Amino acid sequence: MLSSGKAVKVSIYLSEGATHHGASTYSSILDFLFFRGVSGATVLKGVAGFGADHHMHSANFVEISDHLPMKIEFIETREKIDELLGKLEEMVGSGMIEFQETTIAKPAQVSKSKKAPVSEHVRIEGKAKLMRIYIGESDRWHDQPLHEALLRAMRANDLAGATVYRGILGYGAHRRVHKEKPLHLSHDSSIMLSVIDTEEKLQAFLPLVDQMVQEGLVVLSDVDIIKYSHRAMETGESKE
């Protein structure tokens, strides 16, 4: 965690409508910073501005513009920033990243321990591990469904891919039967997340699972990767 003294303040400038792998860039970056253990970050929304393209973007037209400027700010140690920078540059696309030497007069109070950093994305081949997490659909983590939070945490930790399945019938530790109801009035089905990645990556992710899952079952098994490939996706400004 941060202590008083020298630190670096990072400002990231991007457009509100920018997307990264199909999700809005600012929320992807915020997730990334959050799940990589950055001490804090703030997203600010501009009311008007212009960028590299020299187009004036403003909120004059009853919120129809999705090109308003956004700024993400966070303060961290130089080492932490060096560790995150590569991925941030990739995520920010056509946006801008700025550093500023700063001095912390008083660090914020810490209420949670910091997570271990995880390694960068690697290509996986041959032997790998399959992790399945069994939880309930109504389980929550902070203010969101646990399965969505886990998925976001996996994405932020660069796990190769994850799928969420909803069961039609099941029971678990408390022997309460979870049943699928017609028309989805109830949201209490069994949920399974399945992720495949290297043993190393999954082991590095487990402490986060420990924190997030209060009740459930996690199993790891050996798998052979037959094929893992993906199309290149466009990063940066969405063109609409």
Interacting residues with other proteins (CB under 8 A): 132, 134, 165-175, 177, 190, 192, 206, 209-210, 213-222
User: What is the DSSP code string of 67-96?
Assistant: --EEEEEEEE-HHHHHHHHHHHHHHHTTSE
Closest approach of other proteins to the CB of residue 121, in Å: 24
CB of 239 to other proteins, least distance (A): 32
Q: Which of 206, 98, 110, 113 has its CA nearest to residue 157? A: 206
Of residues 50 and 165, the one with the C-beta less far from other proteins: 165
Quote the least distance from Cβ 124 to other proteins, whole Å.
Answer: 18
CB of 101 or CB of 224, closer to other proteins: 224
Whether 41 and 64 have beta carbons less than 8 Å apart is answered as no
Q: Are 197 and 96 contacting, i.e. CB atoms less than 8 angstroms apart?
A: no
Q: Which is nearer to other proteins, 137 or 237 (CB)?
A: 137
Pick 137 or 158: Cβ nearer other proteins = 137
Nearer to other proteins, 72 or 193 (CB): 193
**Minimal distance in Å, beta carbon 74 to other proteins?**
31
| In the complex, minimum distance from the CB of residue 177 to other proteins, in angstroms, rounded to a whole number | 8
> What distance in Å separates the CA atoms of residue 204 and residue 183, rounded to the nearest whole number?
39
Q: Nearest to residue 213, comparing CAs of 133, 111, 148, 113? A: 133
CB burial string 77-111: b at 16+ within 10 A, e below? beebbeebeebbeebbbebebeeeeeebeeeeeee
Do the Cβ atoms of 39 and 2 come closer than 8 Å?
Answer: yes
Closest C-alpha among 232, 233, 229 to residue 124:
229
Nearer to other proteins, 124 or 164 (CB): 164
> Which residue type, as a one-letter code, is found at position 178?
H
CB of 210 to other proteins, least distance (A): 7
